[in-house]
Structure 1
């Protein structure tokens, strides 16, 4: 059966649902449970993501969370490409995985901010695109030591890098939407940065309240 020959609307819907379910696997919570750590939604920023898991003091758990959150964005996009699906369908698949991370159906719709998953999606769209955006994140994080600031600068730069390197198309719209959602999810971090209250990378969080 040639999936590319199916109705584009059906492919978009099917791809979005499957990717959303994959994106709904909150690895910050899953990995924390496997390591016997507190639920990351109960301490630090309350965000189920790698940066907050790092605040538990367990670097291994944070690295695994980062890896699997990125893979759940990358794998659905890579599979869609391998199946020969159109740019529109590939874009919708990437958005489905990203939105699944933000609002995971398996975890009461309490998701993360989407940085690692967005990076995985971008790497799936084009390795060079993802690599350049990751480079922006790394440079800002290394200089300023704020994960949230690095994510915000990377989110702002991603659409510009996409247009500069790959022109305009469905994927550009997808990158813009992901960047907008990522910035919106960082609203509290923006306020903390402006007030000088944001935690730096690796800073341990207070233990969760009993």
Structure 2
């Protein structure tokens, strides 16, 4: 019963979108009226600048870290930890109180992965920074890491529940980024012409 409570609580916590509330507090506006229409760090940064970006990343990462950390403290199974991470990211992407229009899930996913598997998370951050230096594209770098996380987990011989859960997480985040992916594809095609 506590497992189900934790998973549902993780989803509801995921819906507490840091960028949305920061813009509401400081600008008396809805961050979803700007840029991509998302509540995440990139869009919050468009409205609030670097400080808003940083605070949103930190808030969303902490939000992603909390359910798995609490599950560990309660000595729940690895499956429950992974389901809590998936739930908090799903809540971030589709928050009930915001009409299912939230962020894209990268920061809470990274926060949760950092708690569940710090070595994997740090390896992913190194890959992210490497791709960022090469491409100078924040979104592309994040997507490479999200796609690579289940592969890294498998290569590092982590439990199958973790690798499978990270694969589900990757699918959710890719779905949330589908418009970004289409835009990147269009830009690539335009450069080749």
Alignment check: 8 A CA contact 1:15 1:92 kept: no
**How far apart are residue 29 of structure 1 and its match?**
0.5
**2:171 paired residue number:** 180
**2:33 paired residue number:** 42
> 2 CA distance for matches of 1:72 and 1:166?
27
**How far apart are residue 114 of structure 1 and its match?**
0.3
DSSP-derived class of the 1:70 partner: helix
> 1 CA distance for matches of 2:125 and 2:98?
27
1:146-179 deviation line (CA, Å, top 9, x unaligned): 2221122111110011112243321221100000
More helix by share: 2
TM-score (norm 2): 0.91
Tell me which moved more, 180-189 or 66-75: 180-189
Alignment check: 8 A CA contact 2:3 2:76 kept: no
**How far apart are residue 125 of structure 1 and its match?**
1.0
TM-score (norm 1): 0.84
> 2 CA distance for matches of 1:177 and 1:77?
16
Alignment check: 8 A CA contact 1:102 1:113 kept: yes
**2:11 paired residue number:** 20
**1:92 paired residue number:** 83
List, as ranges, runs of 4+ consecutive aligned residues in structure 1 with deviation greater than 4 Å. Answer: none
Map 1:1-210; keep pairs closer than 5 Å. 10-36=1-27, 38-56=29-47, 58-196=49-187
Task: Tell me the C-alpha RMSD between the 2 structures.
Answer: 1.6
Gaps of 5+ in 1: 1-9, 198-210
1:104-144 deviation line (CA, Å, top 9, x unaligned): 11211111110101101111111111111222222222322
> 1 CA distance for matches of 2:157 and 2:66?
21
For these two proteins, the number of residue pairs brought into alignment is 188
Gaps of 5+ in 2: 189-193
Alignment check: 8 A CA contact 2:11 2:91 kept: yes
